[in-house]
Amino acid sequence: MPGKMLFASGVGTERARSAAASRRGVRRRKRETLEEKSTRVNAISARLALTYPDVECPLAHQNTFELLVAVMLSAQCTDAAVNKVTPELFRRYPDAAALSRASTREIEALIRTLGLFRAKAKSLQRCAQQLVDEFEGQVPATMEELTKLAGVGRKTANVILGHAFATPGITVDTHCKRLSNRLGLTRQQDPTRIERDLNRLLPPEQWTGFSHRLIIHGRRVCHARKPNCGGCALRQWCPSREIAAASSGRRRKRPRRQWASALVRPPS
């Protein structure tokens, strides 16, 4: 009897999951093999390359040091906002030695229009001092050394490695994280684990371009709240392609009741 109850409960749970998936407008798909998923992600990568052929870094910079500073400033900010403050910052502090001698208040004054400017000013000053003390003022070229710098995590390091040193790497930001999950390429939420999953699916020569194109696609098409599924170039490979229709259906407004008119009697 207990065994039958457990079996029935399992069936009920599965049916409930199916019904919930149906209500969300998301198709239930059979589990992909690693080979099938790799084939699909390569098709996605090829389409992204056709859609966004130019993957140059949008942050204005003239050298690797400036790129490092700009990427550190870009956390929770737009590239346009960063590009407004960096010209004066780089004019005053053109290298790590100059920036290491600046006070955090001086740096704050130049970047205060950016989010988290106080924390960023501290990280920039500490990072510049590390570059001077440990790397003769030069930006290191390995993941291990870059991630030892203040304010530099794997995301920032992969941008530097990919654009400055042509070292392949997956850059996982909020857009890459969201799209990787929507596309069914990972179930992970931790950026390091997402990076690992994507690394397994793609050859190294595609890592840098794929992640940067995915980020662009997230900014322009696959938005967090209202993804443009109808205009998405990746639609045919996306298991979440019904998400926009499902979301709009849930947010449909109910008609207002005309309470006032109900209280007014027609003239006799």
Rounded mean pLDDT for each run of 10 residues along the chain, 268 residues in total: 44 51 50 89 96 91 97 94 98 98 97 96 98 98 97 96 96 96 95 96 95 95 93 94 62 46 43
Q: With left for phi above 0 and alpha for psi between -120 and 50, is residue 166 left, alpha or beta?
A: left
Name the CATH superfamily, with its identifier, for domain 64-164.
Answer: Hypothetical protein; domain 2 (1.10.340.30)
Q: Would you say 212 and 173 are in contact if contact means Cβ atoms under 8 Å apart? A: no
**Pairwise CA distance, residues 13 & 6, whole Å:** 10
What residue has token string 């926009």? 244
Q: With left for phi above 0 and alpha for psi between -120 and 50, is residue 97 left, alpha or beta?
A: alpha
Helix (H) or strand (E) holding 77: none
* CATH 1.10.1670.10 domain extents, the chain: 32-55+170-240
Q: Would you say 78 and 114 are in contact if contact means Cβ atoms under 8 Å apart? A: no
Q: Would you say 162 and 173 are in contact if contact means Cβ atoms under 8 Å apart? A: no
**Pairwise CA distance, residues 211 & 113, whole Å:** 28
pLDDT of residue 32: 84
What stretches of the chain adopt beta strand conformation (E)? none
DSSP, res 75? T
**Pairwise CA distance, residues 121 & 106, whole Å:** 9
- Return the CA Rg of the chain: 25
**Pairwise CA distance, residues 116 & 113, whole Å:** 9
Catalytic residues: 155, 173
Is the domain spanning 32-55+170-240 CATH 1.10.3720.10? The answer is no
Q: Quick one: CA dihedral 16, 18, 22, 24, positive or negative?
A: positive
* CATH 1.10.340.30 domain extents, the chain: 64-164
- Report the candidate in 110, 118, 129, 124 with the shortest Cα–Cα distance to residue 66: 124
Instruction: Give me the amino acid identity at 155.
Output: K
Report field, pTM of the whole predicted structure over 0.85: no
- Report the candidate in 169, 173, 194, 174 with the shortest Cα–Cα distance to residue 184: 194
**Pairwise CA distance, residues 268 & 265, whole Å:** 9
Structure tokens that stand for 151 in this block? 């304010």
The CA angle 164-170-176, to the nearest 5 degrees, is 120
